[in-house]
Amino acid sequence: MRVPVISPSEIQSRLEHILPLVRKPGRYTGGELNQVVKDWAKIKTRVALVFPDIYDLGMSNLGLAILYDLINHREDILAERVYSPWLDMEASLRSSGTPLYSLESKHPLVDFDIIGFSLPYETLYTNTLNVLDLGGVPVLSAERNTGHPLVIAGGHAAYNPEPMHAFIDAFVIGEGEEVIQEIIGVYQTWKSSGKDRKDLLRSLAGIWGVYIPSLYEAQYHPDGTFSHMEKLDEAAQLPVVKRIVARLPPPVTHLIVPYIDTVHNRIPIEIMRGCTRGCRFCHAGMITRPVRERPVQEVVEAIEQALEKTGFEEVGLLSLSSSDYTNILELVNAVSQRFKGKHLSISLPSLRIESFSVDLMDALVDTRRGGFTLAPEAATERMREIINKPVSTAQLLETARAIFSRGWSTIKLYFMIGHPSETLEDVQAIIDLCKAVLAEGRKLIGNRAQVNAGVSTFVPKPHTPFQWVPCDTVDQIRAKQGLLKRQLRGAGLKLTWNNPEDTLLEAWLSRGDRRMAEVIYQAWKHGAKFDAWNEQFSYELWIQAFQIAGLDPTFYTHRERPIDETFPWEHISTSVRKKFLTEDYLWSLRGKTRVDCRERCFACGILPTFADMRRANPGEVWQCPEVKNKRIPVHEILSGENLPVLQS
Ligand code: SF4
């Protein structure tokens, strides 16, 4: 979209005509409690933080809330928010020639110095292109010149940046709290130097955790598989090692309070980052290591401050596995005591399947007794060993009994179909297990007992032990879902599932290479957007895009990769070594499990890479063992040589 030069006041005046005609105009106005508006004339660097889906979803994105707070604390820079407009608003913007703008100041996106996208999942890719286009920014990185904004992106999906390499100037691999300041610093120096855009990109490449795709070229074997990544410039790092913070900075408490309902109207407090459980399907669990915790007192104080500043009535104590937080009982007791009688609902998601989890939820005052969620992920013990989530069926039923007997009437059970080596017997076991849990509930609370089964389909993710495995075909998924739909029905039972085609899109994009960028571009050109929304996603359109790009979609999804295949994301290092992932995959084929790595360190690669950081942060801040000896160069770590000695 070509945008004319247009002032914020002109945009504001056009909105007065546009907003009465669109649904939920509160998505597009800004002006909420705690938003930060600065005087553009006094600011050196302006950053647009973009969540490429609607406001209702984007306002709950914790990563952007953290960056918004951090950036706006500095006097010389500002951060403003941009979200995807829904279809009706997009039509109005396009028909009136109005560019997409920031909520705070109504400046067009193209006016910003830096545009930062949050990409937590792959189905936001076409929306990313659409936001750039609506904002008047060239969609292709190669078409941007020195006067255009720098387009950066981070988030979990950025750990395989290759499908989006053509659209993003710089990817942040890993945690953004510190690196964003360095990126802005480099940008400011470059801006005052008057040098060209290539010079900016080369300087950014020197920052730990920043990946500049245009400084590399992908090479392929004649059979189409990936060969290696070649550096085109000496400034390019190879590999690009992820960024982490040694200690989690204090939680954000100055949160923006929306006027309209959003998906989570609550205070999000991250109590812990990382996970030591080692579930083999779990992308987040592998890429966010090591585990770092926040002190109990800091969490309690943050809740107190956030309540004062926002008036929210719910707090989410967030992590990948909340019951693994070292002082979880102390935390729950402290929160319960401190906020007793304040009608504050506390959610504690991601609890392990054990009676202790029920004790924890029970201890939380004012907690709603709607549904209690457990995620066994698979229904047979064999399958749970393959995915490394070993919990016995007896333990699961015992936990279910504890839940029903403590006053909850509904248990939500989350499963995945499509795990490696799964058969229809394993799917039948999901049905049997749900019915067994319901039967336990009926014994205790009669017909009030309810079991809601959420069954999604497994998508193999890069950087995990399952990165080699094929994804189920549409026919396989339909056969498994058919069985579930036929038998998981009746009083007290409810089933939800994903469309098989949605799963395939995620699978194509997750393990895509650079050639996938053309597919994304063609899909968007032909109308794809809001692919994460069932009613908007068009499978046919994506198949057509694959045809235009001359690529076979099954190459990315249904092919079992040989154990020695080089992956298109290997130049991005999570610091969990491929050797560890390979061994874990081979263990899974034998049904061999690993214990929680806090009990026994498996030398996954995290500690050698971040040995200096660990040494500088002794004690229980990290859940990895302490390190005795000296730092080892990254190239030795990645080859598995000279690993340091760990204290037992
Ligand atoms: S270094 Fe050891 S303890 Fe730390 S995440 Fe890796 S396996 Fe777990």
Ligand 1: centre distance to CA 100 (Å): 44
Query: Of the residues 602, 615, 646, 648, which should be mutated to test ligand 1's pocket, given the most ligand atoms within 8 Å of the CB?
Result: 602
Nearest to 349 by CA among 325, 327, 330: 325
pLDDT at 640: 45
Least confident of 76-85, 173-182, 297-306, 365-374: 365-374
Name the one residue in this structure whose structure tokens are 């749900």: 434
- What's residue 641's pLDDT? 45
**Cα of 298 to ligand 1 centre, how many Å?**
25
**Cα separations in angstroms, 29 against 16, 35, 49, 267, 425:** 10, 12, 16, 22, 53
**Which residue out of 574, 604, 626 has the highest number of ligand 1 atoms within 8 Å of its CB and is therefore the one to mutate?**
604
Distance CA 302, CA 291 (A): 20
Look at residue 644 and tell me whether its pLDDT is greater than 50: no
CA of 526 to the centre of ligand 1 (A): 45
Ligand 1, atom 5: closest residue by C-alpha = 290
Taking CA atoms only, the protein residue closest to ligand 1 atom 2 is: 601
**pLDDT of 9-20, one tens digit each?**
999 999 999 999
- Structure confidence at residue 354 as a pLDDT band (50, 70, 90): confident
Measured in Å, residue 402 CA sits from the centre of ligand 1 at 33
Mean pLDDT, the chain, integer: 93
Distance 295 CA to ligand 1 centre (A): 21
Q: What distance, in Å, lies between the first and last C-alpha atoms of the chain?
A: 60
HEC secondary structure over 172-222: ECECHHHHHHHHHHHHHHHHHHCCCHHHHHHHHCCCCCEECHHHEEEEECC
Supply 358's token pair: 């029920």
Give the mutation target among 279, 610, 624 for probing the ligand 1 site: most ligand atoms within 8 A of CB. Answer: 624
Report the share of the chain in percent with pLDDT over 90: 87
Atom 6 of ligand 1, residue of closest alpha carbon: 604
Measured distance CA(557)–CA(519) in Å, rounded: 15
The yes-or-no verdict on residue 630 having pLDDT over 70 is: no
CB-defined site of ligand 1, < 6 Å: 276, 289-290, 597, 601-604, 606-607, 624
pLDDT at 226 over 90: yes
Residue 220 predicted with pLDDT over 90:
yes
Of ligand 1's atoms, which has the minimum distance to the CA of residue 598? Answer: 3
For residue 346, the model assigns a pLDDT of: 87
Which residue's alpha carbon is nearest to atom 8 within ligand 1? 597
Which pLDDT score, from 0 to 100, does residue 358 have?
A: 84
Closest-lying ligand 1 atom to the alpha carbon of residue 576 = 6
299 alpha carbon to ligand 1 midpoint, in Å? 25
Nearest to 637 by CA among 213, 179, 242: 242
Q: How far is the CA of 603 from the centre of ligand 1 (A)?
A: 6
**Nearest atom (ligand 1) to Cα of 597:** 8
Position 551 pLDDT exceeds 60: yes
pLDDT band for position 638 (cuts 50, 70, 90): very low
Instruction: Report the distance separating Cα 347 and Cα 315, nearest Å.
Output: 6
